[in-house]
A and B are shown apart, each in its own frame.
Chain A
């Protein structure tokens, strides 16, 4: 929390919802949200290094607790992918699903960190005036993920059906190959191609952003005195517990949609 400014509700919320923007070049686009980037990169690095460490020492015999936990996750993801994707899933889709699920879950889970304490730490330990710890409540992150999946989807579609097949599908699905319905087919497919990454990214972003805002609103109760602080703490706890469900569910949904989109691209009409 910034101490220089006067503490008003809108100031408090605005402060917590502004990104730590680093300008890299002229123009509105050429800047990065340092907080989203660093947190997501840090989480990804830590988690996947841990995974690598466990996977490297994985034994086919009796697994240790650490390996058993990773395997639990592995089997869970593998099961989900197996149910949706019909093809050689171990080459790409299943590991990609694991990446998505774990990374998104970790980034979502940053929501559990108490915002004001984290803000204090970021301010006083790392010297960052503003810092948002939840990368998935940054539309850039979710859109980057969704767009990557979107590109993968198109790439797989072309890889499976060939470029001609893909273009053929753009014009001839879902209504038929009659030249009269080509425009409708194309329009339909374009809408689908635009809506997929949008809904994919917005769903996650919206949930995480809303969760963060609710934490902020609950946090503001502390401004009303001791009873407000106590009640706010209780309510914050309840919301955090409920948020465990949201965090997991959103990560799961994001992963499942990723798998579904890619497997849809795999299946030709």
Chain B
């Protein structure tokens, strides 16, 4: 094992190999690996962001849902209120109308009663006349006794 020229040849080979690796082997590998690392990091970051977005969206949708529920509740309550109002109004109107109808009916009734009484009066006077005529046995001169009869009718 003596040192000879092999030493320099091997050193030269070594130098060439190092140069070759530095120049041609390492950079493309580094570029590929780093670029993939970047891609993966970007992907992870994107996934993280997407998850965050998803959380936000879920929260927002929950908010919207709650708002909608509230609004729907309000609307239903408003509708109920309005319905009861309308019912109250209708009741009041009906009452007024009913009163009016009752009043009209009463007036009509009064009128009917009055008319019936008038008729009855004339009938009574006629019946009275006839009765009196029968009792007296002779014809009462309606004309002669009109004043009397009118007085009688007025009394009834």
Contacts and interface: CB of A to CB of B under 8 A. Distances in A.
Given A37-B6, A143-B7, A144-B14, A60 B24 contact: no
A96 B33 contact: no
Which bucket holds chain A's interface residue count? Answer: 35 or more
10 contacts: A29-B5, A30-B4, A44-B13, A58-B32, A67-B32, A74-B33, A99-B21, A138-B6, A148-B11, A148-B15
A147 B10 CA distance: 10
A181 B53 CA distance: 68
Interface of A: 21, 24, 28-33, 36-37, 40-41, 44, 48, 51-52, 54-56, 58-61, 63, 67, 70-71, 74-75, 90-92, 94-96, 98-99, 103, 135, 138-141, 143-145, 147-148
B144 interface: no
A41 B10 CA distance: 8
Contact of A90 (B3, B8, B17, B30): B30
**Most B CB atoms within 10 A — which of A24, A60, A91?**
A60
B18 A95 contact: yes
A95 B24 CA distance: 10
B29 A44 contact: no
Interface residues of B, number: 32
A98 B31 contact: no
B39 interface: yes
A33 B6 contact: yes
A40 B2 CA distance: 18
B6 A144 contact: yes
Contacts of A36: 6, 10
Contact of A144 (B10, B18, B27, B35): B10
Interface in B26-64: 26-33, 35-36, 39
Nearest to A93: B22
Interface in B52-102: none
B10 A140 contact: yes
A41 B13 contact: yes
B7 to A, nearest CB: 5
A55 B6 contact: no
